[in-house]
Amino acid sequence: MKSLLYIVLLLTISSINAQNMKSDLPYAVVPPHPEKYTATTVAARMIDGLGFRYYWATEGLRPEDLAYKASEEGRTSAETVRHIYDLSKMIVNATTKTPNGKSEKDSLSFDELRSVTLLNFKKASTILLEADSLDDFKIIFENDYGISEHSFWINITGPIEDAIWHSGQVSLLRRASGNPFNSKVSVFSGKVRK
Protein backbone atom coordinates (compact mmCIF):
# COMPACT_ATOMS: atom_id res chain seq x y z
CA MET A 1 0.00 0.00 0.00
CA LYS A 2 2.86 2.40 0.82
CA SER A 3 4.41 1.68 -2.58
CA LEU A 4 1.16 2.48 -4.38
CA LEU A 5 0.77 5.72 -2.41
CA TYR A 6 4.38 6.66 -3.18
CA ILE A 7 3.84 6.03 -6.92
CA VAL A 8 0.63 8.10 -6.97
CA LEU A 9 2.37 10.94 -5.11
CA LEU A 10 5.36 10.81 -7.49
CA LEU A 11 3.09 10.89 -10.56
CA THR A 12 1.12 13.80 -9.13
CA ILE A 13 4.27 15.82 -8.44
CA SER A 14 5.62 15.01 -11.91
CA SER A 15 2.36 16.16 -13.49
CA ILE A 16 2.40 19.44 -11.56
CA ASN A 17 6.04 20.06 -12.50
CA ALA A 18 5.32 19.36 -16.17
CA GLN A 19 2.49 21.90 -16.12
CA ASN A 20 4.71 24.49 -14.48
CA MET A 21 7.62 24.08 -16.89
CA LYS A 22 8.29 26.98 -19.24
CA SER A 23 6.88 26.54 -22.70
CA ASP A 24 8.93 26.81 -25.83
CA LEU A 25 7.95 30.42 -26.34
CA PRO A 26 10.69 32.78 -27.49
CA TYR A 27 12.19 35.58 -25.44
CA ALA A 28 12.63 34.10 -21.97
CA VAL A 29 16.12 35.48 -22.69
CA VAL A 30 17.23 37.85 -25.44
CA PRO A 31 18.85 35.83 -28.24
CA PRO A 32 22.54 36.40 -29.03
CA HIS A 33 23.16 39.68 -30.83
CA PRO A 34 24.07 39.84 -34.52
CA GLU A 35 27.74 40.10 -35.39
CA LYS A 36 27.42 43.38 -37.25
CA TYR A 37 25.38 46.54 -37.06
CA THR A 38 23.10 47.22 -40.01
CA ALA A 39 19.73 48.90 -40.22
CA THR A 40 18.02 45.50 -40.36
CA THR A 41 19.99 43.92 -37.49
CA VAL A 42 19.37 46.94 -35.25
CA ALA A 43 15.63 46.83 -36.06
CA ALA A 44 15.59 43.08 -35.31
CA ARG A 45 17.39 43.70 -32.02
CA MET A 46 14.82 46.33 -31.03
CA ILE A 47 12.10 43.74 -31.57
CA ASP A 48 14.09 41.17 -29.57
CA GLY A 49 14.31 43.64 -26.66
CA LEU A 50 10.57 44.23 -26.95
CA GLY A 51 9.91 40.47 -27.00
CA PHE A 52 11.98 39.98 -23.83
CA ARG A 53 10.19 42.79 -21.99
CA TYR A 54 6.78 41.57 -23.13
CA TYR A 55 7.61 37.96 -22.18
CA TRP A 56 8.41 38.91 -18.60
CA ALA A 57 5.72 41.59 -18.27
CA THR A 58 3.12 38.93 -19.10
CA GLU A 59 4.70 35.86 -17.49
CA GLY A 60 2.57 34.53 -14.65
CA LEU A 61 -0.29 37.01 -14.94
CA ARG A 62 -3.28 35.89 -12.90
CA PRO A 63 -6.95 36.51 -13.74
CA GLU A 64 -7.05 39.30 -11.14
CA ASP A 65 -4.00 40.93 -12.78
CA LEU A 66 -5.65 40.79 -16.20
CA ALA A 67 -8.83 42.37 -14.83
CA TYR A 68 -6.98 45.16 -13.02
CA LYS A 69 -7.01 48.75 -14.25
CA ALA A 70 -5.61 51.81 -12.53
CA SER A 71 -8.66 54.02 -13.11
CA GLU A 72 -12.18 53.86 -14.49
CA GLU A 73 -11.15 55.34 -17.82
CA GLY A 74 -7.98 53.26 -18.14
CA ARG A 75 -7.45 49.93 -19.86
CA THR A 76 -7.27 46.66 -17.97
CA SER A 77 -4.11 44.61 -18.29
CA ALA A 78 -6.05 42.21 -20.54
CA GLU A 79 -7.07 45.07 -22.83
CA THR A 80 -3.47 46.28 -22.93
CA VAL A 81 -2.23 42.77 -23.78
CA ARG A 82 -4.77 42.63 -26.63
CA HIS A 83 -3.55 46.01 -27.90
CA ILE A 84 0.06 44.75 -27.88
CA TYR A 85 -1.11 41.69 -29.84
CA ASP A 86 -2.68 44.02 -32.45
CA LEU A 87 0.60 45.97 -32.63
CA SER A 88 2.54 42.71 -33.06
CA LYS A 89 0.38 41.92 -36.09
CA MET A 90 1.26 45.29 -37.63
CA ILE A 91 4.97 44.70 -36.94
CA VAL A 92 5.03 41.23 -38.48
CA ASN A 93 2.76 42.27 -41.36
CA ALA A 94 5.32 44.90 -42.39
CA THR A 95 8.02 42.23 -42.56
CA THR A 96 5.83 39.79 -44.49
CA LYS A 97 4.51 42.58 -46.75
CA THR A 98 0.94 41.80 -45.68
CA PRO A 99 -1.61 44.63 -45.74
CA ASN A 100 -3.37 45.57 -42.52
CA GLY A 101 -7.10 45.73 -42.93
CA LYS A 102 -10.22 45.72 -40.87
CA SER A 103 -10.52 42.30 -39.32
CA GLU A 104 -12.77 40.51 -36.92
CA LYS A 105 -11.61 40.63 -33.32
CA ASP A 106 -9.87 37.36 -32.53
CA SER A 107 -11.42 35.41 -29.68
CA LEU A 108 -8.13 34.21 -28.26
CA SER A 109 -7.49 33.40 -24.62
CA PHE A 110 -4.78 35.28 -22.73
CA ASP A 111 -2.34 32.37 -23.18
CA GLU A 112 -3.06 32.26 -26.91
CA LEU A 113 -2.69 36.04 -27.27
CA ARG A 114 0.61 35.93 -25.40
CA SER A 115 1.93 33.05 -27.47
CA VAL A 116 0.95 34.50 -30.85
CA THR A 117 2.32 37.93 -29.88
CA LEU A 118 5.71 36.48 -28.94
CA LEU A 119 5.78 34.37 -32.10
CA ASN A 120 4.92 37.45 -34.19
CA PHE A 121 7.85 39.33 -32.64
CA LYS A 122 10.17 36.38 -33.29
CA LYS A 123 9.05 36.01 -36.91
CA ALA A 124 9.52 39.72 -37.60
CA SER A 125 12.97 39.69 -36.00
CA THR A 126 14.06 36.61 -37.95
CA ILE A 127 12.95 38.13 -41.26
CA LEU A 128 14.79 41.37 -40.49
CA LEU A 129 17.97 39.54 -39.51
CA GLU A 130 18.06 37.91 -42.93
CA ALA A 131 17.22 41.08 -44.90
CA ASP A 132 19.60 43.51 -46.58
CA SER A 133 17.45 46.63 -46.37
CA LEU A 134 14.40 48.03 -44.61
CA ASP A 135 13.16 49.75 -47.75
CA ASP A 136 10.68 47.01 -48.69
CA PHE A 137 9.20 46.58 -45.22
CA LYS A 138 6.41 49.11 -45.30
CA ILE A 139 3.33 49.27 -43.13
CA ILE A 140 0.47 48.83 -45.58
CA PHE A 141 -3.15 49.68 -44.82
CA GLU A 142 -5.90 48.47 -47.09
CA ASN A 143 -9.52 49.56 -46.70
CA ASP A 144 -12.55 50.69 -48.69
CA TYR A 145 -10.78 53.94 -49.57
CA GLY A 146 -7.70 52.29 -51.04
CA ILE A 147 -4.18 51.42 -50.01
CA SER A 148 -1.69 53.53 -48.05
CA GLU A 149 1.94 52.69 -47.42
CA HIS A 150 4.26 53.99 -44.71
CA SER A 151 8.02 53.50 -44.45
CA PHE A 152 9.69 51.36 -41.81
CA TRP A 153 10.45 54.56 -39.89
CA ILE A 154 6.78 54.62 -38.93
CA ASN A 155 7.03 51.01 -37.74
CA ILE A 156 9.77 52.09 -35.33
CA THR A 157 8.06 55.20 -33.96
CA GLY A 158 4.62 53.61 -34.14
CA PRO A 159 3.94 49.94 -33.40
CA ILE A 160 7.39 48.92 -32.07
CA GLU A 161 7.80 51.79 -29.61
CA ASP A 162 4.11 51.70 -28.71
CA ALA A 163 4.38 47.99 -27.84
CA ILE A 164 7.43 48.70 -25.66
CA TRP A 165 5.47 51.50 -23.94
CA HIS A 166 2.49 49.24 -23.28
CA SER A 167 4.68 46.35 -22.06
CA GLY A 168 5.90 48.77 -19.39
CA GLN A 169 2.29 49.56 -18.53
CA VAL A 170 1.54 45.85 -18.05
CA SER A 171 4.53 45.66 -15.68
CA LEU A 172 3.23 48.64 -13.72
CA LEU A 173 -0.35 47.32 -13.61
CA ARG A 174 0.76 43.90 -12.40
CA ARG A 175 2.74 45.51 -9.58
CA ALA A 176 -0.33 47.55 -8.61
CA SER A 177 -2.46 44.38 -8.59
CA GLY A 178 -0.04 42.65 -6.22
CA ASN A 179 1.97 40.49 -8.65
CA PRO A 180 5.21 42.36 -9.42
CA PHE A 181 7.56 41.66 -12.33
CA ASN A 182 10.19 39.00 -11.57
CA SER A 183 13.01 40.88 -9.79
CA LYS A 184 15.63 38.50 -11.24
CA VAL A 185 14.92 39.66 -14.78
CA SER A 186 17.63 42.01 -16.07
CA VAL A 187 16.37 44.20 -18.90
CA PHE A 188 19.96 45.49 -19.15
CA SER A 189 21.50 42.11 -20.01
CA GLY A 190 18.42 40.42 -21.43
CA LYS A 191 18.85 37.51 -19.04
CA VAL A 192 17.43 36.21 -15.78
CA ARG A 193 19.79 36.36 -12.81
CA LYS A 194 20.13 33.19 -10.76
Q: Region 168-175: what's the mean pLDDT?
A: 97
How far apart (Å, rounded) are the C-alpha atoms in residues 131 and 125? 10
pLDDT in tens, 28-70: 999 999 999 999 999 999 999 999 999 999 999 999 999 999 9
Flag whether the pTM goes above 0.85.
yes
How far apart (Å, rounded) are the C-alpha atoms in residues 45 and 190? 11
Domain 26-183 has CATH 1.10.1200.10: no
Least confident of 33-37, 102-106, 177-181: 102-106
**Domain coordinates in residue numbering, the chain:** 26-183
